Amino acid sequence: MKPAGIYILEVIICSGLLLTFYQLLLARRIPYRACRRFLLGSALAAVVIPLLRLPILPAQTVYLQIPVAGAGAAGAEAAGFSPAAAAPAPAGAAAAFPWQGVLLASYAAVVLLLLALLVRSLLRIEHLRKTSRLTPLPEYTLAEHARIRSPFSFWRTVFLRLEERPDDAQRTMIIAHEAAHIRHRHSRDKVALGLMKALFWFNPFFWMMERLLAEVQEYEADEDVLRAGYNVDSYRLAIFKQLFGYYPDLTSGLSHSLTKKRFTMMNQAPRGSLSWLRLTAALPLFAGLLVAFGATARTVSSDPQGPDQAQSVQNDPNTITVFITANDTKNVTINGETVALADLDEFLQKPEFDAPFMFTLESDAETRMETVLNVRAQLEDAYVRKGFPTSPEAQKGSLDLRKQFRNTARKDFAIIRINSANRVLFGDKEIHIGDDFAPYLKDFFRAHGDKAIISIKYDLAASYRCYCQVKQEIWKAHREVLDEIACSRYGKPLEELDEESQKVVYEALPLTTVETDTRTR
């Protein structure tokens, strides 16, 4: 899930691009109904597209080491030890000013204010209707009241001033105008965009869309009146006489602020059928926005060590590739062959599995950590039942980590949490995977050197994809700091050093991580 700041920025960008396209290519050039639909659709698309996660981009491969039986992380979990529970919060975290809470409260206050104004307008209209003289007609209800100074319409009611001697000719044209608003359901459009404007009040383009929508609705109603055969000069005179008056914001009425534009549009020739071709130009724009803000990689896989060693691992005959799918928790694919988890022992009796081997887990993007852990546990059990020895060094490393974490006064470790919504927290701060994450990790590695320890605690409902992304960010940050150490000591990056010098650099900054899940207490 995207951070709120990124989502807000993408909503503003999407709505701005769509509104610019409308102003340059569509406004007053296509049928008014199409204009209305494009404005409403643009507002909805700007809100929805950044929320989408369409798996249409090429798969991104994430590299990380998957432990087998006896590995350090598994040993720590088996011991019932939770490094996250023993670790204190990062220094200064409690004293930080709660900016997120203040911003959220401010946002909610403005939303409630705008919604209150919306409800107030609705209540005022309803009160006016109840106190008016009502005349039911086939297409609408006519409401007349002495308080009404300017005609308007809302839903299926036309509101007119109660007059003793009305001008029947002008009255008929004005009613035809308001009836056109009702026939095209303009009130529904205004309420829908009003709700979106209240929820996304920070987006200036939604406010502009609301003004443009009101203009288009007036143009469309005027067009219907003139198509009905009324004289354009007589209709303009009727509008002039109705210029000054009051009507609530949510209604459709005769507004003097639009008079000059409306008179200009009355003189324009009707738009031809070919004007619809302009709308096809919007398709590439919508497609580009989907790719830019709504697309994600199709799958995420994991391989041991890191990108520079991936090819050698894939070609290693002692490495078994296991693929897991989110929709099938009873079967896995091992080296391209579908195998039931219940039949693992039988499958591993094949001659090619007679020597100790390493598992490499791969999965589709939506597989949950709970599924991956269950599969990994069954693979490790099958590994042990084959009689292969576990690593004494790994077991010893797990015990050493446990002793280190018992010292709660230590400050040289970082806590990374992945919750059920796939949000990543570094200490108490939510971090966006990407540019926001690396600086925190690298500063941590630089500050604590060979004593640095990272605790990863994930919810069982978190996706394996998010877990892999976190592991990749840790590996990348660690590798970049290793290069910094190598350059400072030897004047060149790590990969250009000889084996002995590389060993010295790795000893200066080993990568030590401990993983636990929500079952660990």
Mark whether 413 and 474 lie in a shared domain: yes
Q: Give the pLDDT confidence score for residue 77 in this predicted structure.
A: 34
**77 falls within a domain:** no
**50 falls within a domain:** yes
Mark whether 125 and 213 lie in a shared domain: yes
Mark whether 454 and 477 lie in a shared domain: yes
Give the rounded distance of the alpha carbon of 406 from its chain centre.
39
Strands across the sheet containing 453-458: 429-431, 424-426, 413-418, 453-458, 513-517
* Tokens representing residue 177 in the block: 């105008």
Q: Are 376 and 359 in contact (CB under 8 A)?
A: yes
Q: Give the pLDDT confidence score for residue 213 in this predicted structure.
A: 92
Mark whether 242 and 207 lie in a shared domain: yes
Q: Are 383 and 68 in contact (CB under 8 A)?
A: yes
Mark whether 107 and 52 lie in a shared domain: no
Q: Give the pLDDT confidence score for residue 314 in this predicted structure.
A: 46
SS3 letters across 399-450: HHHHHHHHCCCCCCEEEEEECCCCCEEECCEEECCCCCHHHHHHHHHHHHHH
Distances 98 to 1, 95, 103, 425 between C-alpha atoms, Å = 21, 9, 9, 15
Mark whether 16 and 113 lie in a shared domain: no
**170 falls within a domain:** yes
Mark whether 116 and 201 lie in a shared domain: yes
**480 falls within a domain:** yes
Q: Give the pLDDT confidence score for residue 372 in this predicted structure.
A: 82
SS3 letters across 49-92: HHHCCEEEECCEECCCCCCCCCCHHHHHHHCCCCHHHHCCCCCC
Average confidence (pLDDT) per 10 residues, the chain, 521 residues: 77 93 88 90 92 65 38 33 36 55 88 92 90 89 85 88 71 88 91 91 92 89 87 79 55 56 68 70 88 65 40 53 74 80 78 71 76 80 69 43 45 79 82 75 85 86 84 87 90 87 89 74 45
**334 falls within a domain:** no
**378 falls within a domain:** no
Mark whether 108 and 244 lie in a shared domain: yes
What confidence tens digit (pLDDT) does each residue in 344-402 have?
Answer: 777 877 777 777 667 777 777 678 888 888 887 777 777 777 766 554 444 444 444 44
Q: Give the pLDDT confidence score for residue 112 in this predicted structure.
A: 94
**310 falls within a domain:** no
Q: Work out how many domains the chain is built from and give that number.
A: 3
Mark whether 203 and 288 lie in a shared domain: no
* Tokens representing residue 8 in the block: 């807000």
Domain of 287, in residue numbers = 4-57+278-295
**340 falls within a domain:** no
Mark whether 191 and 288 lie in a shared domain: no
**What is the Cα–Cα distance from 350 to 277, expressed in whole angstroms?**
64
Mark whether 255 and 284 lie in a shared domain: no
Q: Give the pLDDT confidence score for residue 113 in this predicted structure.
A: 93
Mark whether 157 and 186 lie in a shared domain: yes
